[in-house]
Amino acid sequence: MVAIFTPEIIAFLLIAGALVGFVSAFFGVGGCFIMVPVMIFCFNELMGVPLDIAVKIAFGTNMAVVVPTAFSGAWKHSKKISFPKQHYLYYAIPVGIGSVIGSVGAYFAPGYLLKILFGIACIIGAYRFMTARPKQVAELKELNKEKYVAGGLGSGGVAHFMGIGGGLVYMPVLNTLLEIPIHTAVLISISTMVIGSSVGAVSFGILGSLQQTAAYPPYSFGWFNLIAFLTLASTSVITAQLGASMTHRIQPKQLKILLAILYIYVGLRLIGVFAWLGIPI
């Protein structure tokens, strides 16, 4: 099978991008749990790209898409609350360093293992959506540099080894461990994705170029695909503005339930549970 982008695949990616942008800015987490499975499905099952390559290109492209989406959401959030620059830098820069470490780890890991780990992360994400309660913090505390640096290094390494934008990791670290008020934590989380995901995307592009083969889909530069990036980013940047506005107006309980169900389904599918049971969904 020759890997090509059909109009149906392009439309599929545009719709996924719109959903990703809203989810990312609304909850302060990356929309990778939608974006990565969509790309793996498109590259592997629709275009015939080998699984190992499809997973890693999906990871690298996902990180690249997160950058403009997160920047759009962060810009909107920063208009509503004060931006804590020093707290942000002491967390986000170590995240960037951790991203390089995580990306190198992913280089040596087989694609099927990364796919399973990502599926587990989806289920953990669903659990957190349904059970996590923001830690009630009245105000931003004095900066603890060592604690922020350690939290950033660990967050970046874990997030980008698994190919996620980082919000699933950043939010509990920022709010629970570093004791940052929830709305400020959302702002720092989204803003950190700009640095962490930029570094991760570049790292995946460079590492993927060391394994360049004819099996890569068209317009791939290492583990980064330009067509998937443009389609997903074009709609996600727009809907990120909507998500950032809505998060300050409504209670997200009903949407959280729907997303949790979606994430559980995606997680089980990536792990291979449905295939083991012979269920064709």
For the stretch 189-217, pLDDT in tens is: 989 999 999 999 999 999 999 887 788 99
> What does the alpha-carbon distance between residue 171 and residue 84 come to, in Å, rounded to a whole number?
16
Mean pLDDT of 93-113: 93
- Residue 66 reports pLDDT greater than 70: yes
- Residue 2 reports pLDDT greater than 70: no
pLDDT (0 to 100) of residue 78: 79
> What does the alpha-carbon distance between residue 270 and residue 249 come to, in Å, rounded to a whole number?
34
pLDDT digits (tens, 9 = 90+) for 24-41: 667 655 577 788 888 999
Rounded to the nearest integer, the mean pLDDT of the chain is: 85
| CB 183 within 8 Å of CB 82 | no
Which segment, 5-14, 19-28, 160-169, is predicted with the most confidence on average? 5-14
pLDDT (0 to 100) of residue 65: 84
DSSP 141: P
Q: Cβ-count burial of 3 within 10 angstroms (0-12 exposed, 13-18 middle, 19+ buried)?
A: buried
Predicted structure pTM score: 0.82
> What does the alpha-carbon distance between residue 202 and residue 60 come to, in Å, rounded to a whole number?
8
> What does the alpha-carbon distance between residue 36 and residue 32 come to, in Å, rounded to a whole number?
5
Question: Which run of H or E residues covers position 14?
Answer: helix 7-27
Residue 24's region, left for phi above 0, alpha for psi from -120 to 50, else beta, is alpha
Least confident of 13-22, 48-57, 80-89, 245-254: 245-254
Structure-model confidence comparison of residues 62 and 3, the more confident one: 62
DSSP 140: P
Beta bridge mates, 225? 220
Tokens 């509990």 -> residue: 172
pLDDT (0 to 100) of residue 251: 58
- Residue 138 reports pLDDT greater than 90: no
Structure-model confidence comparison of residues 126 and 1, the more confident one: 126
- Residue 86 reports pLDDT greater than 90: yes
| CB 119 within 8 Å of CB 164 | no
Three-state DSSP at 116 gives helix
**Could you tell me the pLDDT band of residue 129, with boundaries at 50, 70 and 90?**
low
- Residue 152 reports pLDDT greater than 80: yes
In this structure, the number of other CB atoms found within 10 A of the CB of residue 281 comes to 8
**Could you tell me the pLDDT band of residue 134, with boundaries at 50, 70 and 90?**
confident
Tokens found for residue 57: 């290109």
- Residue 248 reports pLDDT greater than 80: no
Give 214-268 as a 3 state SS string: CCCCCCECCCCEHHHHHHHHHHHHHHHHHHHHHCCCCCCHHHHHHHHHHHHHHHH
